[in-house]
A and B are shown apart, each in its own frame.
Chain A
Amino acid sequence: KQEVTQIPAALSVPEGENLVLNCSFTDSAIYNLQWFRQDPGKGLTSLLLIQSSQREQTSGRLNASLDKSSGRSTLYIAASQPGDSATYLCAVSGGGYQKVTFGTGTKLQVIP
């Protein structure tokens, strides 16, 4: 059974700082890995999708890497802003019906 863990569970940083969020998974036989953000009381917004054959993806100030062999992914956020405050979730897809397993989430607070 796939298990996905995110560290840290919560993070508070001053505005402008670069930061890294970590995601680890136990089964390396994945289809893809996706990073999302969730604002309170809202649905999930897709940030980056990394296919199993890819090593990283970039979008603006966000960069996500994937190391399947070690079961790890990182989300790098450059020059953090207060608007980045949210819960960040990684999700691993694999198996029948594209079964998706979510991580426990990292709650980020960027202090102005």
Chain B
Amino acid sequence: GAVVSQHPSWVICKSGTSVKIECRSLDFQATTMFWYRQFPKQSLMLMATSNEGSKATYEQGVEKDKFLINHASLTLSTLTVTSAHPEDSSFYICSASSRNTGELFFGEGSRLTVL
């Protein structure tokens, strides 16, 4: 099946620094990618939807200046958590949508810990 690679799988950073997470579709072109956040024992919360070559659409309550999303190509989207704070510590997961079927494929997730 299709593969979505997410990197890094875990990262620890100091408060105030910025962290970039990459999401790549390895064997298909993803015109649409999604970024989710997951808190312990909860389901996924959609943060934003990004389409290649255009600005991301953020969900209500998600600060676009804090969570910068770039979808520069059909195979790569990045999420940058700017000026990270401990409350940003979470599990971030990306997904890519198959243009043909609409099936979603997920990355393995990135666990961010902000000290």
**A interface residues with partner B (beta carbon < 8 Å):** 31-32, 34, 36, 41-46, 49, 51, 89, 91, 93, 97-100, 102-105
Listed A/B pairs (27) with beta-carbon separation below 8 Å: A32-B103, A34-B103, A43-B6, A43-B108, A43-B109, A44-B95, A44-B104, A45-B106, A46-B1, A46-B104, A46-B105, A49-B101, A51-B101, A91-B104, A93-B104, A97-B32, A97-B51, A98-B32, A98-B97, A98-B102, A99-B46, A99-B49, A100-B34, A100-B104, A102-B43, A103-B43, A105-B43
Identity of the chain A residue whose Cβ is nearest the Cβ of B91 in the assembled complex: A41
Q: How many A-B residue pairs have CB under 8 A?
A: 56
Partner of A97, one of B44, B49, B106: B49
Complex alpha-carbon distance, A2 and B86, angstroms: 31
**B interface residues with partner A (beta carbon < 8 Å):** 1, 6, 32, 34, 43-44, 46, 49, 51, 57, 91, 93, 95, 97, 101-109, 111
Complex alpha-carbon distance, A97 and B33, angstroms: 10
Identity of the chain B residue whose Cβ is nearest the Cβ of A36 in the assembled complex: B106
Query: Given the complex, which residues of B lie within 8 Å of A98, measured CB to CB?
Result: 32, 97, 102
Query: Given the complex, which residues of A lie within 8 Å of B97, measured CB to CB?
Result: 98
Complex alpha-carbon distance, A46 and B93, angstroms: 14
Partner of A41, one of B101, B102, B109: B109
Query: Given the complex, which residues of B lie within 8 Å of A41, measured CB to CB?
Result: 91, 109, 111
Q: Interface SS of chain B: helix, strand, loop or mixed?
A: strand
Partner of B57, one of A49, A97, A105: A97
Residues A44 and B93 in contact, CB atoms below 8 Å apart: yes
Q: Interface SS of chain A: helix, strand, loop or mixed?
A: strand
Identity of the chain A residue whose Cβ is nearest the Cβ of B107 in the assembled complex: A43
Complex alpha-carbon distance, A32 and B105, angstroms: 14
Identity of the chain B residue whose Cβ is nearest the Cβ of A97 in the assembled complex: B49
Complex alpha-carbon distance, A100 and B95, angstroms: 11
